[in-house]
Amino acid sequence: MPGTIFVTGYPGFIGKRLVAHLAKASGARIVLLVQPKFLKEATQYAAKLGPAPIDILSGDVVDIHLGLSGPEYQRLCDEVTHVFHLAAISYLGMPREVAQQVNVHGTRHVLELARDCRHLERLTYFSTAYVSGDRQGVIAEDELDCGQGFRNHYEETKFLAEKLVQRAKDELPITIIRPTTVVGDSRTGEIERFDGPYYLGMLLVLSPLVLPLPLPGNGVAPLNVVPVDFVVEATWALARNPQAAGKTVHLVDPNPMSARRVYELIAARSNRRLPRFSLSARAADLMLRLPGLEKVARPQRAAINAVNHLALYSSHTALSLLDGTGVRCPPLGTYLDTLVDFAMSSWRDRQGRQSDAAEADDPLDR
């Protein structure tokens, strides 16, 4: 393409992989907005990407003009052709004010930059399928505000941020990406942390208990996850597709398996057997609300909600726009073993590094 690509959210899990892909495929100059506390880490990662022209700017989406100097900001306005806005905070235990500042106000500041870019060809905004909140049934890509409630500050603030982006579609060439839960690479299994339904699946089989934990709920809801390599490749394909401008797309598994079937396969790969009985989702949630557990158990409670939530995400627009590109979401069954193998290897590595063999260890704590 040549041009200049501006990326926020580096060196996050998806951001690192997207930038690595852009460095190989785009031929463009890449500018990364990095928070000061991550500058050293970002510089180390970027140095491994070869000869691609990559510049790192110290700043933060929560600040006016992204915390950049006047000359830095003006240069972006003069040169940037593509913006990828990934910066967000997803930790479920965060105060609402923090989520609002990063996810909503940060997005507003990136939109202001996009409006100031004289040669902008595309703004690709990373939302989430979970802006649908507590809605159930079939959820279409062109739906957003349907009176839904929200189960946490992440869902709510990403919804509010996407409303800003949707309104800006009238004046800017925008593509909105809504992935479901992003898991490890389908080829290597690599991931940096285990959370959400992924965390729950690993916990069920890597628990130090002799008997594996029962699945919370009946497990009939679809467990919709997507590998990070699919998300990255699809994002790049959509950013270059003129027909994707003005569109919102669900990056999802079009044929997800039920949560119980997924966890049965995980257990089998780990030589464990998932108990036939289930713990009701309500009972598990109430247990995790007990004093002393409530704060640390928020990720597990969110995971329980996710695996018992009957939502089906339509991906008609995404499938249509990606048709002919060779990019498609692989069935979970084709790479689930790879994910489990990586998770188990990571756990064993951690166990080997434990200085006190008698110390209890959470195998999924990253």
Specify the range with the lowest mean pLDDT, choosing from 52-61, 87-96, 213-222, 295-304. Answer: 295-304
pLDDT category, 46, cuts 50, 70, 90? Answer: very high
Instruction: Round to whole Å and give the CA distance between 31 and 253.
Output: 31
Instruction: Collapse the DSSP code of 288 into the 3-class scheme (helix H, G, I; strand E, B; otherwise coil) and give the result.
Output: helix
pLDDT category, 361, cuts 50, 70, 90? Answer: very low
pLDDT category, 62, cuts 50, 70, 90? Answer: very high
Sole residue written with tokens 């393409």: 1
Decide the pairing of beta strands 311-313 and 137-139.
parallel
- In single-letter form, the type of residue at position 49 comes to L
Identify the CA nearest to 27 among candidates 57, 54, 56.
Answer: 54
pLDDT category, 263, cuts 50, 70, 90? Answer: confident
Per-residue pLDDT, 366: 32
Instruction: Round to whole Å and give the CA distance between 354 and 49.
Output: 32
- The length of the chain in residues reads 366
Per-residue pLDDT, 289: 57
CA angle centred on 92, ends 209 and 363, rounded to 5°? 25
Mean pLDDT within 96-100? 96
The pTM of the full predicted model, rounded to 2 decimals, is: 0.88
Distance, CA of 104 to chain centre: 17
- Checking if the pLDDT of 191 tops 50, the result is yes
- Checking if the pLDDT of 351 tops 70, the result is no
Distance, CA of 221 to chain centre: 20
Concatenating the DSSP letter of every residue in 235-271 gives HHHHHH-GGGTT-EEEE--SSPPBHHHHHHHHHHHTT
Per-residue pLDDT, 356: 44
- Residue 142, Cβ neighbours under 10 Å: how many? 10
Asked if residue 330 lies in contact with residue 227, where contact means CB atoms within 8 angstroms, the answer is yes
**Which residue has better confidence, 305 or 329?**
329
- Checking if the pLDDT of 279 tops 90, the result is no
CA torsion sign for 221, 227, 233, 239 is: positive
**Which residue has better confidence, 287 or 362?**
287
Instruction: Round to whole Å and give the CA distance between 204 and 213.
Output: 5
What whole-number percentage of the chain has pLDDT above 70?
78
- Checking if the pLDDT of 278 tops 90, the result is no
For residue 267, the number of C-alpha atoms closer than 13 Å in the C-beta half-sphere is: 19
- Checking if the pLDDT of 365 tops 50, the result is no
Beta bridge partners of 126: 177
Mean pLDDT of the chain: 86
Specify the range with the lowest mean pLDDT, choosing from 76-80, 230-234, 260-264. Answer: 260-264
Dihedral pair phi/psi, residue 162, rounded to 5°:
-65, -30
- Checking if the pLDDT of 34 tops 60, the result is yes
Tens of pLDDT, residue by residue over 242-262, are 999 999 999 999 999 998 888
